[in-house]
Amino acid sequence: MKYLLIVLCFIFSLNINAIEDATAGTVRLIMQQNTAKPGGKVLAAIELKVPKGWHTYWEVPGESGMATEVDWTLPKGISASSLKFPAPKRMVELGLVSFGYEETVWLFTEFTVAKDLQVGTNLQIKGKVNWLACKGNCFPGSGEVQTNLKVALKSNNTKESSALLTALAQHPKMLKAHNISLEKNMVKFSLPNIKEAISKIHFFPYDTDSFDITKKITWKLKDNNIQFRATTLEKPTKLKAVLVFTTKKGKKISFLIDSTLQN
Protein backbone atom coordinates (compact mmCIF):
# COMPACT_ATOMS: atom_id res chain seq x y z
CA MET A 1 0.00 0.00 0.00
CA LYS A 2 2.81 2.35 0.97
CA TYR A 3 4.19 2.67 -2.54
CA LEU A 4 0.98 2.06 -4.44
CA LEU A 5 0.90 5.55 -5.92
CA ILE A 6 4.26 4.99 -7.62
CA VAL A 7 2.81 2.03 -9.49
CA LEU A 8 -0.45 3.80 -10.27
CA CYS A 9 1.39 6.75 -11.74
CA PHE A 10 2.82 4.64 -14.52
CA ILE A 11 -0.37 2.67 -15.13
CA PHE A 12 -2.31 5.83 -15.95
CA SER A 13 -1.85 7.36 -19.39
CA LEU A 14 1.31 9.46 -19.53
CA ASN A 15 1.19 13.11 -20.45
CA ILE A 16 4.38 14.40 -22.11
CA ASN A 17 3.93 17.92 -20.76
CA ALA A 18 3.48 16.52 -17.26
CA ILE A 19 6.71 14.54 -17.61
CA GLU A 20 8.56 17.65 -18.74
CA ASP A 21 7.17 19.64 -15.79
CA ALA A 22 8.15 17.00 -13.24
CA THR A 23 11.63 16.46 -14.61
CA ALA A 24 12.14 20.23 -14.81
CA GLY A 25 12.87 20.20 -11.09
CA THR A 26 16.19 21.78 -10.14
CA VAL A 27 18.66 21.20 -7.33
CA ARG A 28 21.55 23.23 -5.98
CA LEU A 29 23.93 22.87 -3.06
CA ILE A 30 23.97 25.77 -0.60
CA MET A 31 26.97 26.00 1.74
CA GLN A 32 27.25 27.90 5.01
CA GLN A 33 30.99 28.27 4.43
CA ASN A 34 33.34 27.85 1.48
CA THR A 35 36.31 27.05 3.72
CA ALA A 36 36.63 24.61 6.62
CA LYS A 37 39.16 24.09 9.39
CA PRO A 38 40.81 20.67 9.82
CA GLY A 39 38.43 18.69 12.04
CA GLY A 40 35.65 21.23 11.43
CA LYS A 41 32.05 20.92 10.30
CA VAL A 42 30.21 22.81 7.56
CA LEU A 43 26.43 23.10 7.34
CA ALA A 44 24.87 22.73 3.89
CA ALA A 45 21.47 22.29 2.27
CA ILE A 46 20.19 20.82 -0.95
CA GLU A 47 17.57 23.12 -2.42
CA LEU A 48 15.04 21.12 -4.43
CA LYS A 49 12.54 23.02 -6.59
CA VAL A 50 9.75 21.52 -8.66
CA PRO A 51 7.21 23.46 -10.78
CA LYS A 52 4.10 25.04 -9.29
CA GLY A 53 1.44 22.50 -8.34
CA TRP A 54 3.94 19.63 -7.97
CA HIS A 55 5.21 18.15 -4.71
CA THR A 56 8.02 15.95 -3.41
CA TYR A 57 8.20 13.79 -0.29
CA TRP A 58 9.31 13.72 3.35
CA GLU A 59 11.72 11.07 4.67
CA VAL A 60 8.61 9.01 5.54
CA PRO A 61 6.39 9.56 2.48
CA GLY A 62 3.20 8.01 3.90
CA GLU A 63 0.91 5.75 1.87
CA SER A 64 2.55 6.79 -1.38
CA GLY A 65 5.65 8.43 -2.77
CA MET A 66 9.41 8.15 -2.32
CA ALA A 67 11.74 10.09 -0.07
CA THR A 68 14.31 12.34 -1.74
CA GLU A 69 17.81 10.84 -1.58
CA VAL A 70 21.35 11.96 -2.37
CA ASP A 71 24.30 9.80 -3.39
CA TRP A 72 27.51 11.64 -2.48
CA THR A 73 30.84 11.31 -4.25
CA LEU A 74 33.37 12.63 -1.74
CA PRO A 75 37.17 12.66 -1.62
CA LYS A 76 39.08 11.07 1.23
CA GLY A 77 38.98 13.16 4.37
CA ILE A 78 35.39 14.42 4.25
CA SER A 79 32.06 12.81 5.16
CA ALA A 80 28.42 13.84 5.00
CA SER A 81 25.65 13.27 7.54
CA SER A 82 22.26 11.86 6.57
CA LEU A 83 19.73 14.34 5.23
CA LYS A 84 17.74 16.33 7.77
CA PHE A 85 14.18 17.03 6.57
CA PRO A 86 11.98 19.94 7.71
CA ALA A 87 8.45 19.32 8.98
CA PRO A 88 6.23 18.15 6.10
CA LYS A 89 2.71 18.93 4.96
CA ARG A 90 -0.17 16.43 4.88
CA MET A 91 -1.46 15.82 1.36
CA VAL A 92 -4.22 13.61 -0.03
CA GLU A 93 -4.07 12.51 -3.66
CA LEU A 94 -6.02 9.74 -5.37
CA GLY A 95 -7.39 8.86 -1.93
CA LEU A 96 -3.92 8.23 -0.48
CA VAL A 97 -2.38 10.21 2.37
CA SER A 98 1.21 11.32 1.90
CA PHE A 99 3.67 13.64 3.62
CA GLY A 100 5.82 16.06 1.68
CA TYR A 101 6.54 19.51 0.32
CA GLU A 102 5.07 21.76 -2.32
CA GLU A 103 7.44 23.33 -4.85
CA THR A 104 10.58 24.21 -2.83
CA VAL A 105 12.30 22.50 0.10
CA TRP A 106 15.75 22.70 1.75
CA LEU A 107 17.19 19.37 2.93
CA PHE A 108 20.09 19.82 5.32
CA THR A 109 23.33 17.92 5.75
CA GLU A 110 26.61 18.52 7.54
CA PHE A 111 30.06 17.88 6.14
CA THR A 112 32.83 16.85 8.53
CA VAL A 113 36.47 17.45 7.58
CA ALA A 114 39.18 15.11 8.91
CA LYS A 115 41.60 16.53 11.46
CA ASP A 116 44.67 15.41 9.51
CA LEU A 117 43.86 17.23 6.26
CA GLN A 118 46.47 19.81 5.32
CA VAL A 119 45.60 23.48 5.07
CA GLY A 120 45.20 24.40 1.40
CA THR A 121 43.64 21.07 0.41
CA ASN A 122 40.80 21.55 -2.08
CA LEU A 123 37.89 19.16 -1.57
CA GLN A 124 35.54 18.57 -4.50
CA ILE A 125 32.04 17.66 -3.31
CA LYS A 126 29.64 15.99 -5.75
CA GLY A 127 26.21 14.51 -5.25
CA LYS A 128 23.41 13.01 -7.32
CA VAL A 129 19.94 13.87 -5.99
CA ASN A 130 16.97 11.62 -6.79
CA TRP A 131 13.36 12.56 -6.10
CA LEU A 132 9.79 11.72 -7.05
CA ALA A 133 7.55 14.60 -8.14
CA CYS A 134 3.78 14.20 -8.21
CA LYS A 135 0.75 16.09 -9.49
CA GLY A 136 -1.88 13.49 -10.25
CA ASN A 137 0.78 11.48 -12.07
CA CYS A 138 4.23 10.88 -10.57
CA PHE A 139 7.59 10.96 -12.30
CA PRO A 140 11.14 10.47 -10.99
CA GLY A 141 13.61 13.31 -11.29
CA SER A 142 17.34 13.60 -10.71
CA GLY A 143 20.00 16.27 -10.72
CA GLU A 144 23.63 16.75 -9.80
CA VAL A 145 25.17 19.21 -7.35
CA GLN A 146 28.79 20.06 -6.77
CA THR A 147 31.04 22.57 -5.07
CA ASN A 148 34.59 23.00 -3.81
CA LEU A 149 35.50 23.32 -0.14
CA LYS A 150 38.97 24.53 0.79
CA VAL A 151 40.69 23.51 4.02
CA ALA A 152 41.87 26.66 5.79
CA LEU A 153 42.75 27.96 9.24
CA LYS A 154 39.83 30.38 9.14
CA SER A 155 36.21 29.70 8.28
CA ASN A 156 34.70 31.94 5.62
CA ASN A 157 30.89 32.31 5.59
CA THR A 158 29.01 32.50 2.30
CA LYS A 159 26.36 35.11 1.57
CA GLU A 160 23.66 32.48 2.23
CA SER A 161 24.97 31.52 5.67
CA SER A 162 22.34 33.54 7.52
CA ALA A 163 19.48 32.14 5.43
CA LEU A 164 20.66 28.58 6.13
CA LEU A 165 20.70 29.13 9.89
CA THR A 166 17.28 30.79 9.80
CA ALA A 167 15.78 27.88 7.85
CA LEU A 168 17.38 25.29 10.14
CA ALA A 169 15.95 27.07 13.19
CA GLN A 170 12.47 26.27 11.85
CA HIS A 171 13.09 22.52 12.03
CA PRO A 172 11.19 20.51 14.67
CA LYS A 173 12.40 20.99 18.25
CA MET A 174 12.63 17.99 20.55
CA LEU A 175 9.80 17.82 23.08
CA LYS A 176 9.24 15.10 25.65
CA ALA A 177 5.86 13.40 25.68
CA HIS A 178 4.39 12.26 28.99
CA ASN A 179 1.37 10.34 30.30
CA ILE A 180 1.86 7.87 27.45
CA SER A 181 -0.53 4.93 27.40
CA LEU A 182 -1.19 2.22 24.87
CA GLU A 183 -4.77 1.02 24.57
CA LYS A 184 -6.66 -0.98 21.97
CA ASN A 185 -6.23 0.79 18.60
CA MET A 186 -5.08 3.95 20.36
CA VAL A 187 -1.99 5.68 21.75
CA LYS A 188 -2.61 8.46 24.26
CA PHE A 189 0.00 11.02 25.27
CA SER A 190 0.37 14.58 26.50
CA LEU A 191 2.60 17.54 25.70
CA PRO A 192 3.06 20.86 27.48
CA ASN A 193 0.82 23.62 26.16
CA ILE A 194 2.74 25.95 23.80
CA LYS A 195 0.91 28.93 25.33
CA GLU A 196 -0.39 30.14 21.98
CA ALA A 197 -3.93 29.80 20.68
CA ILE A 198 -3.94 26.68 18.46
CA SER A 199 -6.24 26.18 15.48
CA LYS A 200 -5.03 22.76 14.30
CA ILE A 201 -2.35 20.11 14.81
CA HIS A 202 -1.00 17.60 12.29
CA PHE A 203 0.67 14.34 13.31
CA PHE A 204 3.42 12.77 11.16
CA PRO A 205 4.52 9.38 12.58
CA TYR A 206 7.72 7.70 11.46
CA ASP A 207 6.08 4.28 11.77
CA THR A 208 3.27 4.44 9.22
CA ASP A 209 2.70 0.70 9.45
CA SER A 210 1.61 0.98 13.09
CA PHE A 211 -0.27 4.29 13.01
CA ASP A 212 -3.38 4.92 10.91
CA ILE A 213 -2.41 8.06 9.00
CA THR A 214 -5.77 8.22 7.23
CA LYS A 215 -7.27 9.38 10.54
CA LYS A 216 -6.25 12.76 11.93
CA ILE A 217 -5.00 12.97 15.48
CA THR A 218 -7.47 14.27 18.08
CA TRP A 219 -6.45 16.65 20.84
CA LYS A 220 -7.76 18.83 23.65
CA LEU A 221 -6.37 21.29 26.18
CA LYS A 222 -6.47 20.29 29.85
CA ASP A 223 -4.55 21.58 32.89
CA ASN A 224 -1.87 23.40 30.84
CA ASN A 225 -1.29 20.28 28.76
CA ILE A 226 -2.38 19.12 25.33
CA GLN A 227 -3.81 15.62 25.40
CA PHE A 228 -3.59 13.57 22.21
CA ARG A 229 -5.14 10.40 20.83
CA ALA A 230 -3.57 8.71 17.81
CA THR A 231 -5.26 5.74 16.09
CA THR A 232 -3.10 2.65 15.56
CA LEU A 233 -3.25 -0.25 13.11
CA GLU A 234 -1.05 -2.51 15.21
CA LYS A 235 0.86 -2.14 18.47
CA PRO A 236 3.74 0.31 17.98
CA THR A 237 6.94 -0.05 20.00
CA LYS A 238 7.90 3.62 19.66
CA LEU A 239 6.13 6.93 19.63
CA LYS A 240 8.28 8.87 17.20
CA ALA A 241 6.60 11.62 15.25
CA VAL A 242 6.68 15.23 14.13
CA LEU A 243 3.75 17.40 15.24
CA VAL A 244 3.00 20.63 13.43
CA PHE A 245 0.96 23.20 15.37
CA THR A 246 -0.81 25.97 13.48
CA THR A 247 -1.76 28.90 15.68
CA LYS A 248 -4.85 31.03 15.15
CA LYS A 249 -2.52 33.72 13.77
CA GLY A 250 -1.29 31.31 11.09
CA LYS A 251 2.12 30.65 12.64
CA LYS A 252 3.48 27.11 12.33
CA ILE A 253 5.51 25.52 15.14
CA SER A 254 6.86 21.96 14.88
CA PHE A 255 8.10 19.48 17.47
CA LEU A 256 9.73 16.05 17.42
CA ILE A 257 8.73 13.44 19.98
CA ASP A 258 10.60 10.17 20.42
CA SER A 259 9.59 7.80 23.22
CA THR A 260 9.60 4.05 23.78
CA LEU A 261 6.19 2.59 24.46
CA GLN A 262 5.69 0.25 27.41
CA ASN A 263 3.24 -2.55 26.73
pLDDT digits (tens, 9 = 90+) for 159-208: 999 999 999 999 999 999 999 999 889 999 999 988 788 999 999 999 99
Residue 234 belongs to a domain with what CATH number?
Answer: 2.60.40
Torsion over CA of 48, 49, 54 and 58, rounded to 10 degrees?
A: 20
Task: Look at residue 193 in the predicted model and tell me its pLDDT.
Answer: 87
Q: Say if residue 44 is in the same domain as residue 79.
A: yes
What would the pLDDT profile of 149-165 be if each residue is shown by its tens digit?
999 999 899 999 999 99
Same domain, 25 and 114: yes
83 and 144, same domain (yes or no): yes
**pLDDT band of 1, cuts 50, 70, 90:** very low
Domain that holds residue 96: 4-168
Q: Are 115 and 38 in contact (CB under 8 A)?
A: yes
Q: CA-CA distances (angstroms) from residue 8 to 55, 96, 101, 142?
A: 16, 11, 20, 20
CA 136 to chain centre: 22
Task: Tell me the average pLDDT across 246-261.
Answer: 93
Residues 114 and 196 in one domain: no
Tell me the pLDDT band of 23, cut-offs 50, 70 and 90. low
Q: Of the residues 113, 136, 168, which one is the last residue of a structural domain?
A: 168
Structure confidence at residue 102 as a pLDDT band (50, 70, 90): very high
pLDDT of 4: 45
Question: pLDDT averaged over the chain?
Answer: 90
Is pLDDT at 19 greater than 70 in this prediction?
no
- In sequence order, the 6+-apart residues with CB closer than 8 A to the CB of 238 are 206, 207, 258, 259, 260, 261
Q: Is the pLDDT of residue 148 over 50?
A: yes
pLDDT at 17: 52
What pLDDT does 100 receive? 97
Q: What's the confidence (pLDDT) of residue 223?
A: 83
| Co-location of 27 and 131 in the same domain | yes
* End-to-end Cα distance, the chain: 27
